[in-house]
């Protein structure tokens, strides 16, 4: 700013000598003097048109509407009939400063609109969150017919298409771009690939990307985000490495999208490398980067690191707060989640629907029924928001887990949404815990209808019968499962060691060190048994012999991943394991005992939450 003011004063002094004070004598003003002088410059009434045009453009870049308006006023005062160039600059300035009304008025008052005027106004609406109007304007421009389209028109309208997922219009523009050879323009191609990716046509997006002879950093980011949006996280990380090899310099856009891919994959090592780049850069305090870093660390089990990043940001926005609240919730740190929820409001921000999903889920993880009900009411009564399907899902879970199964069922019946599989699944799991066979059968029936191919649902019902000793029904449920097309999702666990992810299935045979792992696990189990560990067979209600049950439990994927961690990671380093399914009771007991025997912190992330095992205890307090 200081440099700009000095430069500006120098220019004005040199060209027009409007200043009453001597610039040449001493430019070493303090900041406040400079600011005062800057105000005096803006208040000048005799600036020539080229200077005013220059300043208008600067105001558009820096979003300084006060100064922009001052320039506009001077133009009017001078009696200057704004030409196409000046009008477009003013329209753009008002649009960039968020004043669409002024931009539109100027456009409407123009005696003749040029191509640039149309492009500018379309961009104005699109950039101010009104893409529909941007598209309508494009149609109006087409009808008007007084000017043709340029690359600017196409990329600008594609931007509007990306915001409202207007695939048909995008395809028409694509055809038009090909006809006029606009596709060689990097802005046009990048905007095209962005729309295709956002409309889930990732292959088309990738085809455009691969066909581009030249790519900008925006192109790379758009493709990266495209993969992330389409949940192709591995592809996103491969692209990131490719970008690195191609010499693309990271910026806050590349970094935030790369970090979100790392977070989704819980790829901590890769995420750390990106974080290292951030630390050396100037965009570490960028709110998007900070939010993805908080999310990354929280999802990778590093809740302290997440909080460390969160604390460094001075001006926190709602997304950053939400990322941190959700991180605490995921780790079962309900108290911290709730304190942060209050602090966020003290800082002057109102919670949104996402915030409430996080605080409600923190209630799920600790079985806090009354608190959950209070938050659920606050959504509509205190913050005038509407309940969404996630809120109901959390509430059904909170009620069911606490044994209020009928109340949970009532909530499902009364809500205006279609019940989701997760709601029926949660209700069914609660029915197993509280032995409610009747409601379990009803929930299972609904679940089979909406998820006919999920074998886990059949197993859940079978387990409800087994928990009540109804073995004939267990057999019937199993037969039904065999006759159906349903597939059981296999339990998979993975662990990151150095820069490699090791994946294990139950009874894994393919890992290169598998024999060594089984040997080490057997020795360790022996040691554990000597210290009082007994397996918990009731958590695996397979209809199999006792000895086979023991065998299946022993080789659960998380135990294999843990053993490799024990073999490879130096003592003192936490063993962090990820699992695609919920951790079973036996593995939970195993990890508790293992944490006390080895004196190590063991962190297991299952499909629902984090468990931190330390000194024989788990952070979930046995509620999960």
Stretch 436-465 residues interacting with DNA (CB under 7 A): none
- The binder of DNA chosen from 156, 271, 301, 400 (CB under 7 A): 156
Q: Where does 402-493 have alpha helices with state H?
A: 405-414, 421-434, 437-450, 455-467, 471-483
Tokens found for residue 507: 């009874």
Q: How far is the CB of 570 from DNA (least distance, A)?
A: 31
Hunting for tokens 């006390």 — which residue is that?
596
For the bound state, the minimum distance from the C-beta of residue 467 to DNA, rounded and expressed in Å, comes to 20
Nearer residue to DNA within complex by CB, 132 or 217: 217
- Give the list of residues 6+ apart from residue 559 with CB closer than 8 angstroms, or none: 521, 587, 590
Query: Which of 186, 269, 404, 446: binder of DNA (CB under 7 A)?
Result: 186
Burial level of 323, CB count in 10 A (0-12/13-18/19+)? buried
Among the candidate windows 18-26, 179-187, 507-515, 547-555, which touches DNA by CB under 7 A? 179-187
Angle at 238 between CA 234 and CA 244, to 5 degrees: 145
Residue nearer to DNA on the CB measure, 328 or 533: 328
Tokens 């600011």 sit on residue: 35
Q: Site for DNA (CB under 7 A): which residue of 70, 185, 467, 557?
A: 185
Question: 400 vs 535, which CB is nearer to DNA?
Answer: 400
- Closest residue by Cα to residue 493 from 607, 327, 334: 607
Q: Does 260 bind DNA (CB under 7 A)?
A: yes
84 is an interface residue for DNA by CB under 7 A? yes
> Does 266 sit near DNA (CB under 7 A)?
no
- How many chain residues interact with DNA (CB under 7 A)? 88
Which two three-digit tokens encode residue 150?
Answer: 């340029």
In degrees, rounded to 5, the angle at the alpha carbon of residue 590 between the alpha carbons of residues 585 and 591 is 100
- Cα–Cα dist 362/338, whole Å: 8
Least Cβ distance, residue 49 to DNA (angstroms): 13
Choose one: 230-238, 300-308, 421-429, 457-465; the region binding DNA (CB under 7 A): 421-429
- Binding test (CB under 7 A) with DNA, winner from 151, 169, 336, 496: 151
| Contact criterion met (CB below 8 Å) for 276 and 262 | no
317 binds DNA (CB under 7 A): yes
Can you tell me the distance from the alpha carbon of 259 to that of 257, in angstroms, rounded to the nearest whole number?
A: 5
> Which residue among 23, 82, 164, 318 contacts DNA (CB under 7 A)?
318
Phi, then psi, of 390 in degrees rounded to 5: -70, -40
Interface residue with DNA, options 51, 70, 74, 92 (CB under 7 A): 92
Site string for DNA, 465-504 (x = CB under 7 A): ----------------------------------------
Residues 6+ apart with CB under 8 A from 7: none
Closer residue to DNA in complex, CB, 383/470 = 383
Distances (CA, A) of 454 to 114, 259, 389, 416, 459: 59, 32, 21, 25, 9
- DSSP assigned state of 453: T
Segment contacting DNA (CB under 7 A): 63-71, 149-157, 331-339, 554-562?
Answer: 149-157
> CB of residue 592 vs DNA: minimum separation in angstroms?
24
Q: Which is nearer to DNA, 127 or 595 (CB)?
A: 127
Beta carbon nearer to DNA, 337 or 594: 337
Residue positions counted in the chain: 624
CA dist 125 and 102 (Å) reads: 12
User: Which alpha helices (H) appear in 23-114, and where do they start and end?
Assistant: 31-43, 49-62, 65-77, 84-96, 100-109
Binding to DNA, residues 327-356 (CB under 7 A): 329-330, 352-355
The tokens for 461 are 């019902």
Q: Which residues pair with 604 in a beta bridge?
A: 577, 611
Quick check: 393 binds DNA (CB under 7 A)? yes
Q: Is 244 a binder of DNA (CB under 7 A)?
A: no
From 34-42, 43-51, 392-400, 542-550, span contacting DNA (CB under 7 A): 392-400
Binding to DNA by CB under 7 A, coded x per residue (else -) over 21-40, reads: --------------------
Among residues 70, 74, 256, 462, the one that binds DNA under rule CB under 7 A: 256
Given 128, 422, 580, 598, the residue binding DNA (CB under 7 A): 422
Among 230, 266, 326, 467, interactor with DNA by CB under 7 A: 326
Judged by CB under 7 A, which stretch of 26-34, 183-191, 448-456, 615-623 contacts DNA?
183-191
For 64-74, b/e burial (b = at least 16 CB within 10 A) is bbebbbbbbeb
Which residues, numbered 272-311, are part of the site for DNA (CB under 7 A)? Answer: 283, 286-289, 291-292, 295
| Binding track, positions 105-134, relative to DNA; x by CB under 7 A | ---------xxxx-xx--x--xx-------
Using the minimum distance from each CB to DNA, give the nearer residue, 67 or 194.
194
Q: Which stretch binds DNA (CB under 7 A): 43-51, 250-258, 517-525, 527-535?
A: 250-258
Q: Which range touches DNA (CB under 7 A), out of 30-38, 81-89, 461-469, 574-582?
A: 81-89
Q: What's the closest the beta carbon of residue 458 comes to DNA, in angstroms? A: 16
CB of residue 52 vs DNA: minimum separation in angstroms?
13
CB of 620 to DNA, least distance (A): 14
Nearest to 157 by CA among 189, 131, 175: 131
In angstroms, the CA 401 to CA 408 distance is 9
Per CB under 7 A, does 394 bind DNA?
Answer: yes
With tokens 């609109």, the residue in question is 113
Burial pattern 514-541, b for ≥16 Cβ within 10 A else e, equals: eeebbebbeebbeebeeeebebeeebbb
| 3 state DSSP class of 529 | helix
Residue 323 within binding range of DNA, rule CB under 7 A: yes
Strand-pairing partners, residue 503, are 494
């Amino acid at each position: 700013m200081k440099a700009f003011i000095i430069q500006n004063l120098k220019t004005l002094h040199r060209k027009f000598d409007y200043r009453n004070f001597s610039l040449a004598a001493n430019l070493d003003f303090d900041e406040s003097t400079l600011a005062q002088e800057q105000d005096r410059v803006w208040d000048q009434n005799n600036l020539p048109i080229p200077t005013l045009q220059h300043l208008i453009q600067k105001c558009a870049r820096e979003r300084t509407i006060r100064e922009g308006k001052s320039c506009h006023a001077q133009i009017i005062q001078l009696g200057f009939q704004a030409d196409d160039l000046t009008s477009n600059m003013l329209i753009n300035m008002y649009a960039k400063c968020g004043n669409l009304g002024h931009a539109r008025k100027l456009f409407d008052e123009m005696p003749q609109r040029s191509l640039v005027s149309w492009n500018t106004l379309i961009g104005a609406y699109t950039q101010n969150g009104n893409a529909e109007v941007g598209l309508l304007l494009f149609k109006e421009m087409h009808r008007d017919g007084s000017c043709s389209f340029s690359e600017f028109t196409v990329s600008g309208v594609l931007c509007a298409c990306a915001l409202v997922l207007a695939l048909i219009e995008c395809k028409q523009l694509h055809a038009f771009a090909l006809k006029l050879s606009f596709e060689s323009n990097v802005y046009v191609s990048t905007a095209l690939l962005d729309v295709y990716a956002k409309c889930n046509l990732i292959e088309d997006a990738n085809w455009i990307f691969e066909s581009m002879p030249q790519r900008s950093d925006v192109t790379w980011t758009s493709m990266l985000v495209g993969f992330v949006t389409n949940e192709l996280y591995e592809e996103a990380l491969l692209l990131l490495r490719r970008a690195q090899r191609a010499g693309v310099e990271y910026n806050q856009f590349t970094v935030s999208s790369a970090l979100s891919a790392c977070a989704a994959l819980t790829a901590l090592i890769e995420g750390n490398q990106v974080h290292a780049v951030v630390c050396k850069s100037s965009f570490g305090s960028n709110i998007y980067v900070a939010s993805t870093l908080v999310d990354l660390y929280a999802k990778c089990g590093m809740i302290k690191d997440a909080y460390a990043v969160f604390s460094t940001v001075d001006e926190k926005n709602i997304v950053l707060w939400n990322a941190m609240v959700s991180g605490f919730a995921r780790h079962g740190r309900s108290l911290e989640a709730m304190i942060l929820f209050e602090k966020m409001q003290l800082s002057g921000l109102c919670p949104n629907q996402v915030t409430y999903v996080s605080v409600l889920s923190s209630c799920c993880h600790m079985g806090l029924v009354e608190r959950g009900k209070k938050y659920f009411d606050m959504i509509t009564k205190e913050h005038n928001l509407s309940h969404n399907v996630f809120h109901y899902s959390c509430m059904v879970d909170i009620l069911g887990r606490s044994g209020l199964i009928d109340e949970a069922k009532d909530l499902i019946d009364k809500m205006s949404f279609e019940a989701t599989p997760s709601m029926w699944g949660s209700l069914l799991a609660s029915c197993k815990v509280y032995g409610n066979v009747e409601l379990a059968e009803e929930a299972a029936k609904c679940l089979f209808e909406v998820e006919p191919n999920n074998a886990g649902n059949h197993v859940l019902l079978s387990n409800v019968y087994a928990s009540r000793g109804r073995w004939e029904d267990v057999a019937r449920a199993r037969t039904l499962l065999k006759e159906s097309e349903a597939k059981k999702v296999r339990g998979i666990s993975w662990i990151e060691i150095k820069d490699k992810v090791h994946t294990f299935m139950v009874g894994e045979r393919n890992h290169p060190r598998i024999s060594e792992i089984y040997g080490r696990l057997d020795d360790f189990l022996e040691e554990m048994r000597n210290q009082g560990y007994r397996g918990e067979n009731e958590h695996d209600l397979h209809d199999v012999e006792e000895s086979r049950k023991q065998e299946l439990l022993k080789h659960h994927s998380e135990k294999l991943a843990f053993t490799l961690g024990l073999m490879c990671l130096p003592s003192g380093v936490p063993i962090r394991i990820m699992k695609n399914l919920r951790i079973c009771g036996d593995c939970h007991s195993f990890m508790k005992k293992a944490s006390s025997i080895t004196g190590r912190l063991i962190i297991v992330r299952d499909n629902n939450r984090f468990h931190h095992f330390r000194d024989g205890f788990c952070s979930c307090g046995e509620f999960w």
